[in-house]
Amino acid sequence: MAHFVYIMASRPCGAMYTGRTTDLRARVETHRAGLSGHTAKYNIRRLVWFEEHDCFEASIRRERAIKRWRRDWKIALITQSNPNWHELTPQIPG
Protein backbone atom coordinates (compact mmCIF):
# COMPACT_ATOMS: atom_id res chain seq x y z
CA MET A 1 0.00 0.00 0.00
CA ALA A 2 1.31 3.45 -0.91
CA HIS A 3 1.67 6.14 1.71
CA PHE A 4 1.87 9.80 0.68
CA VAL A 5 3.34 12.83 2.40
CA TYR A 6 2.02 16.04 0.88
CA ILE A 7 1.96 19.82 1.13
CA MET A 8 -1.02 21.94 0.16
CA ALA A 9 -1.00 25.72 -0.16
CA SER A 10 -3.42 28.60 -0.48
CA ARG A 11 -1.24 30.29 -3.14
CA PRO A 12 2.47 30.45 -4.00
CA CYS A 13 4.36 31.05 -0.74
CA GLY A 14 1.01 31.40 1.08
CA ALA A 15 -0.46 29.41 3.95
CA MET A 16 0.61 25.75 3.88
CA TYR A 17 -0.49 22.43 5.31
CA THR A 18 1.63 19.26 5.54
CA GLY A 19 -0.06 15.89 5.90
CA ARG A 20 0.13 12.14 5.31
CA THR A 21 -2.40 9.71 3.87
CA THR A 22 -2.85 6.43 2.01
CA ASP A 23 -5.46 7.92 -0.36
CA LEU A 24 -4.07 11.23 -1.59
CA ARG A 25 -6.82 11.98 -4.10
CA ALA A 26 -9.56 11.54 -1.47
CA ARG A 27 -7.62 13.54 1.13
CA VAL A 28 -7.15 16.47 -1.28
CA GLU A 29 -10.90 16.47 -1.94
CA THR A 30 -11.55 16.50 1.82
CA HIS A 31 -9.41 19.61 2.16
CA ARG A 32 -11.11 21.28 -0.82
CA ALA A 33 -14.54 20.55 0.60
CA GLY A 34 -13.60 22.49 3.74
CA LEU A 35 -13.82 19.45 6.02
CA SER A 36 -10.40 20.04 7.61
CA GLY A 37 -10.17 22.94 10.06
CA HIS A 38 -6.79 24.50 9.23
CA THR A 39 -7.16 24.19 5.47
CA ALA A 40 -10.71 25.57 5.56
CA LYS A 41 -9.72 28.52 7.75
CA TYR A 42 -6.84 29.56 5.49
CA ASN A 43 -8.41 28.56 2.14
CA ILE A 44 -5.72 25.96 1.46
CA ARG A 45 -6.87 24.08 -1.63
CA ARG A 46 -3.86 23.56 -3.95
CA LEU A 47 -1.75 20.38 -3.85
CA VAL A 48 1.77 21.69 -4.55
CA TRP A 49 4.08 18.84 -3.45
CA PHE A 50 3.85 15.15 -2.59
CA GLU A 51 6.01 12.07 -2.36
CA GLU A 52 5.17 8.40 -2.13
CA HIS A 53 6.51 5.95 0.46
CA ASP A 54 6.24 2.18 0.62
CA CYS A 55 5.63 1.92 4.34
CA PHE A 56 3.80 3.70 7.12
CA GLU A 57 6.90 4.22 9.27
CA ALA A 58 8.84 6.03 6.54
CA SER A 59 5.90 8.27 5.71
CA ILE A 60 5.21 9.26 9.33
CA ARG A 61 8.89 10.04 9.92
CA ARG A 62 9.03 12.21 6.81
CA GLU A 63 5.78 14.04 7.66
CA ARG A 64 6.96 14.78 11.21
CA ALA A 65 10.34 15.97 9.95
CA ILE A 66 8.80 18.34 7.39
CA LYS A 67 6.33 19.70 9.96
CA ARG A 68 9.31 20.71 12.11
CA TRP A 69 11.08 22.44 9.23
CA ARG A 70 11.33 26.18 8.95
CA ARG A 71 8.93 27.79 6.49
CA ASP A 72 11.67 28.76 4.02
CA TRP A 73 12.86 25.12 3.87
CA LYS A 74 9.33 24.01 2.92
CA ILE A 75 9.14 26.71 0.26
CA ALA A 76 12.50 25.53 -1.14
CA LEU A 77 11.29 21.90 -1.18
CA ILE A 78 8.18 22.86 -3.16
CA THR A 79 9.98 25.24 -5.51
CA GLN A 80 12.66 22.65 -6.32
CA SER A 81 10.16 20.29 -7.97
CA ASN A 82 7.27 22.69 -8.70
CA PRO A 83 8.76 26.18 -9.30
CA ASN A 84 5.44 27.75 -10.35
CA TRP A 85 3.42 26.07 -7.58
CA HIS A 86 1.07 24.42 -10.08
CA GLU A 87 -1.77 22.16 -8.95
CA LEU A 88 -0.43 18.58 -8.86
CA THR A 89 -3.64 16.59 -8.40
CA PRO A 90 -3.55 15.31 -12.02
CA GLN A 91 -0.12 13.78 -11.29
CA ILE A 92 -1.31 11.59 -8.40
CA PRO A 93 -0.53 7.97 -9.36
CA GLY A 94 -3.29 5.52 -10.15
* pLDDT value at residue 11: 97
Q: Is 76 helix (H, G, I), strand (E, B) or coil?
A: helix
49-71 burial code (b ≥16 CB/10 A, e <16): bbeebeeeeebeebbeebeeeee
The pTM assigned to this predicted structure is 0.95
pLDDT by residue (tens digit) across 66-77? 999 999 999 999
% of the chain beyond a pLDDT of 70: 100
* Pairwise CA distance, residues 61 & 41, whole Å: 26
Q: How long is the chain? A: 94
pLDDT by residue (tens digit) across 36-61? 889 999 999 999 999 999 999 999 99
